[in-house]
């Protein structure tokens, strides 16, 4: 009997820390599948990896308590209605106070009104371009924009276009965008920019789901543009670049979305392929130990090769974001007050794979690369640090 | 401008032939067995991914096409045995089974290959050029293969005992059975062939476009449009229906915004059906 009592006592002692273990829930709403999954799939990978690392290291300490992270990542499939239901679940059922996502503007516009009902009780970290229109405005204090997409003075759009004009002397640009919210966003950003710089432009839209672009490409080629500016997901870019170069119609590309992959795949058909990438990993891995560590961790965790052409999009940045959020909780001394955590985030600069900070509105500012791919695969990388 | 239009007529015909091969599967399955297989696009997806996977494992593309078609046909055969044979002449049940299969096959592809598009290396690079016109060589090959397959199917059905048995079964299954036609076997054969055809469509598609799990949805709709335009039950009509649809989309995209490309084909389809409700080549 004495032995049994001792055993029970020992069990109680070992079980006690586990029961006391506090958990911070992070919800995530991203399109992990579907035609525009490239952004959501990669970002959810980076988040899961960081959460795993932090938990395996024993969690993190805020004030006197040690916390672990619990990631609840839901697949929106890029469907706004689905995302709204999922966000409701995360907020009301799972009681998550920190929401990662969404990266898609159409999804963001659908979930924003619901999320705004929890203003002050929620922190939403989204990458969608349309967040630019709301972040920092009254009633939207729950929002922070984790990606310095093209819009805004700290976005990369202006820098990319300046760079294009200065280095190539381009005067005629043909835009070919998907006929959806993402395409409209790009029209809103780039058309005024081209007008202001005196660049002649034309804009064509294609239907979502299009695979054969030969008709529209022929029409564009007849207009003889200096560059084709296609967008916005690799699911289309592979076909657009391939079909444009295969028929020899268009050989110069300028991209602000998508990856280096389509250019590399058609490296013998292109003349020039200029693309925005948050980080050119092939080079960074050799120079920066933090990047090398991340690539190794990714390979070990997912047991597959590192997707160099896609990874720069989101996975690594979301990896940094999880660590950044944890640092902010430590600085704020609370995990339960999103407003205090946001205040800490706004005041800090996180030095991870990127140096990330937020401007006065709550939009992320970080360094990025412009990769210029030439015929045959020769590469030139330009590192840009927004002031 | 003339060259631009001519180029799109040729290109549209080639793309239309791709619609035609799916339309042929639809017209065969519905015309002969009365089964509505809206999941044909998924068998196309199976053929496409199977080709991609085999080529990635070192098989030459022309060799990989054969087992890919067989894999798609085998999936079709199993689907028929498990589900479709219970939906004969019942449009709603056929639709429900199709929707279920679309979901299952797409999810399986997503698990195996994720949503990220995959693309094969060029099978036959380069383009044929006449003046300013440029047609990718592989597209021309794809067009030729599809035309040969559709004409061969037409001849096989028109000139062989099996073809006559199939037509007899389509007209009156009971009478065909009394005349010695093994109807369950015939039904399976039609399903096997139509899904194999869709698999071939997918294998050919792989040589032209990138693949993603949801690729089948668009093509089955186009195939359906082409089959209705050509006339359900008309084999050559499915080819012509596809070609006409492809040309309308291609030429329409030159003069009108490309954002509504799908609508041009549909508008013409509605207009034609007003005057010929059974399609261009269907029986009155």
Q: Do A235 and B210 touch (CB under 8 A)?
A: yes
User: What is the fold of A157-278+369-384?
Assistant: Rossmann fold (3.40.50)
pLDDT above 70 as % of chain A: 90
What residues of chain B lie within 8 A of the CB of A178, using their CB? Answer: none
CB pair distance less than 8 Å for A215 and B127? no
DSSP designation for B33: I
Nearest to B212 among A219, A235, A242 (CB): A235
Task: Look over chain B and give the mean of its residue pLDDT values, rounded to a whole number.
Answer: 87
pLDDT, residue B160, reads 85
Residues of A whose CB is below 8 A from B7? 218
Does domain B2-275 match CATH 1.10.3470?
A: yes
Question: Are the folds of A2-147+314-353 and A157-278+369-384 the same?
Answer: yes
Mind telling me how many Å the CA of A370 is from chain B's nearest CA? 23
B130 touching A, CB under 8 A?
A: no
CB of B184 within 8 A of CB of B176? no
Residue B5: the pLDDT is 85
Rounded average pLDDT over A120-133: 90
* Predicted confidence (pLDDT) per residue in B228-280, tens digit: 998 887 878 888 898 899 999 888 888 888 888 888 888 988 998 898 888 88
* pLDDT score at A18: 44
Collect all residues of chain B within an 8 Å Cβ-Cβ radius of residue A234.
Answer: 116-117
Q: Given this model, what pLDDT does residue B122 score?
A: 82
Q: Is B264 on the interface with A (CB under 8 A)?
A: no
Which of the 8 DSSP states describes residue B121? P
Question: How far is the C-alpha of A148 from the C-alpha of A364, rounded, in Å?
Answer: 6
Residue A250: per-residue pLDDT:
93
From B60, B37, B48, B61, select the one nearest B210 (Cα to Cα).
B48
| B214 contacts A218? CB cut-off 8 A | no
Which residues in A lie closer than 8 A to residue B4 (C-beta atoms)? 218-219, 222
A137 within 8 A of A158, measured Cβ to Cβ: no
Inter-residue contact B17 to B80 (CB < 8 Å) = no
For the residues B55-64, what does the mean pLDDT come to? 94
In this predicted structure, the answer to whether residue A143 has a pLDDT above a threshold of 90 is yes
**Least confident residue range of A265-279, A328-342, B18-32:** B18-32
Confidence check: pLDDT of B35 > 60: yes
Query: How far lies B114's CA from each of A31, A313, B12, in Å?
Result: 12, 16, 30
Judged by average pLDDT, the poorest of A21-25, A30-34, A43-47 is A30-34
State the pLDDT at residue A14: 47
Nearest to A310 among B116, B208, B209 (CB): B116
Sequence ranges of the domains in chain A? 2-147+314-353, 157-278+369-384
List beta partners, residue A26. Answer: A71, A98
B15:A212 CB<8 A: yes
> Cβ separation of A35 and B214 shorter than 8 Å?
yes
Residue A154: predicted pLDDT: 64
A142 pLDDT above the threshold of 80: yes
Minimal CA–CA distance to B282: which of B247, B236, B233? Answer: B233
**In the structure, what pLDDT confidence band is assigned to residue A244 with cuts at 50, 70 and 90?**
very high
Write down the pLDDT at residue A3: 55
Q: How far apart are CA B14 and CA B239, in angstroms?
A: 10
pLDDT, position A17: 46
Give start and end residues of each alpha helix (H) in A130-276: 157-168, 181-196, 214-223, 234-246, 261-265
List the structure tokens of B216. Answer: 């089948």
- pLDDT confidence tier of residue A387, bands split at 50, 70 and 90: low
Interchain contact, B215 vs A211, CB within 8 Å = yes
Q: Per the structure block, which two tokens stand in for B211? A: 């693949």
Domain ranges of chain B: 2-275
Say what angle helices A315-332 and A338-347 make with each other, to 10 degrees: 110
Which chain A residues are closer than 8 Å to B114 by Cβ? 33, 37, 41
As a whole number, mean pLDDT of residues B116-139 equals 82
Q: Cβ–Cβ of A207/B11 closer than 8 Å? A: no
A315-332 helix and A289-302 helix, angle to the nearest 10 degrees: 110
Q: Determine phi and psi for A75, rounding to 5 degrees.
A: -95, 110
Q: In this structure, which topology does domain A2-147+314-353 adopt according to CATH?
A: Rossmann fold (3.40.50)
Nearest CB to A218; choose among B8, B15, B213: B8
- Kindly tell me if the per-residue pLDDT of A15 is higher than 70: no
Joined tokens for residue A32: 């992990």
Beta bridge partners of A203: A175
% pLDDT > 90, chain A: 56
In 3D space, the residue among A226, A190, A187 whose CA is nearest the CA of residue A205 turns out to be: A187
Whether omega for the bond prior to residue B22 falls within 30 degrees of 0, making it cis, is: no
Given this model, what pLDDT does residue A315 score?
56
Residue B113 contacts A, CB cutoff 8 Å: no
């Amino acid at each position: 009997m004495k032995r049994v009592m001792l055993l029970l006592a020992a069990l109680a002692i070992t079980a006690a820390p586990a029961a006391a273990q506090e958990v911070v829930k992070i919800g995530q709403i991203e399109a992990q599948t579907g035609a525009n999954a490239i952004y959501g799939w990669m970002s959810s990978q980076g988040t899961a990896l960081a959460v795993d690392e932090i938990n395996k290291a024993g969690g993190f300490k805020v004030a006197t308590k040690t916390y672990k992270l619990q990631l609840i990542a839901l697949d929106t499939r890029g469907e706004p209605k689905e995302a709204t239901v999922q966000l409701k679940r995360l907020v009301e059922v799972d009681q998550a106070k920190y929401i990662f996502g969404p990266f898609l503007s159409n999804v963001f516009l659908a979930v924003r009104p619901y999320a705004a009902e929890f203003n002050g009780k929620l922190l939403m970290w989204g990458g969608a371009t349309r967040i630019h229109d709301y972040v920092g405005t009254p009633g939207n204090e729950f929002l922070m924009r984790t990606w310095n997409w093209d819009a805004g003075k700290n976005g990369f759009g202006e820098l990319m276009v300046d760079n294009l004009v200065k280095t190539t002397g381009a005067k005629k640009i043909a835009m070919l965008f998907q006929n959806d919210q993402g395409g409209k966003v790009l029209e809103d950003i780039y058309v005024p920019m081209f007008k202001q710089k005196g660049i002649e432009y034309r804009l064509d839209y294609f239907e979502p789901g299009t695979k054969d672009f030969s008709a529209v490409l022929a029409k564009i080629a007849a207009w003889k543009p200096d560059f084709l500016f296609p967008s916005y997901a690799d699911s289309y870019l592979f076909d657009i670049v391939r079909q444009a170069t295969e028929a020899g119609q268009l050989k110069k590309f300028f991209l602000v979305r998508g990856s280096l992959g389509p250019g590399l795949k058609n490296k013998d058909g292109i003349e020039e392929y200029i693309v925005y990438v948050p980080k050119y990993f092939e080079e960074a891995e050799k120079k920066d130990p933090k990047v090398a560590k991340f690539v190794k961790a990714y390979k070990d965790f997912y047991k597959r090769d590192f997707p160099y052409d896609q990874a720069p999009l989101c996975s690594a940045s979301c990896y940094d974001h999880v660590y950044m959020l944890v640092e902010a909780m430590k600085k704020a001394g609370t995990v339960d007050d999103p407003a205090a955590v946001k205040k800490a985030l706004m005041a800090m600069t996180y030095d991870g794979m990127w140096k990330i900070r937020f401007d006065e509105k709550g939009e992320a500012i970080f360094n990025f690369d412009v990769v210029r791919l030439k015929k045959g695969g020769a590469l030139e990388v330009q590192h840009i640090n927004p002031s | 401008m003339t060259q631009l239009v001519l180029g799109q007529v040729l290109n549209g015909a080639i793309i239309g032939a791709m619609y035609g091969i799916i339309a042929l599967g639809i017209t065969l399955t519905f015309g002969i067995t009365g089964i509505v297989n809206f999941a044909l696009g998924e068998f196309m997806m199976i053929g496409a991914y199977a080709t991609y996977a085999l080529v990635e494992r070192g098989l030459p593309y022309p060799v990989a096409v054969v087992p890919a078609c067989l894999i798609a046909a085998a999936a079709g055969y199993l689907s028929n045995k498990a589900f479709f044979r219970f939906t004969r002449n019942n449009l709603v049940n056929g639709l429900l089974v199709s929707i279920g299969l679309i979901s299952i096959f797409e999810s399986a592809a997503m698990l195996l290959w994720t949503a990220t598009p995959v693309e094969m290396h060029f099978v036959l690079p380069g383009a044929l050029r006449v003046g300013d016109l440029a047609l990718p060589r592989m597209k021309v090959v794809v067009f030729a293969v599809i035309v040969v397959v559709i004409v061969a199917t037409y001849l096989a059905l028109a000139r062989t005992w099996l073809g006559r048995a199939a037509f007899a079964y389509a007209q009156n299954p009971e009478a065909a059975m009394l005349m010695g036609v093994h109807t369950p076997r015939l039904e399976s054969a039609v399903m096997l062939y139509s899904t194999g055809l869709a698999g071939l469509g997918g294998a050919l598609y792989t040589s032209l476009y990138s693949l993603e799990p949801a690729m089948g949805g668009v093509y089955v709709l186009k195939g359906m449009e082409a089959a209705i335009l050509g006339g359900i039950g008309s084999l050559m009509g499915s080819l012509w229906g596809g070609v006409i649809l492809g040309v309308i989309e291609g030429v329409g995209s030159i003069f009108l915004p490309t954002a509504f490309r799908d609508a041009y084909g549909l508008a013409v389809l509605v207009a034609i059906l007003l005057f010929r409700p059974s399609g261009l080549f269907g029986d009155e």
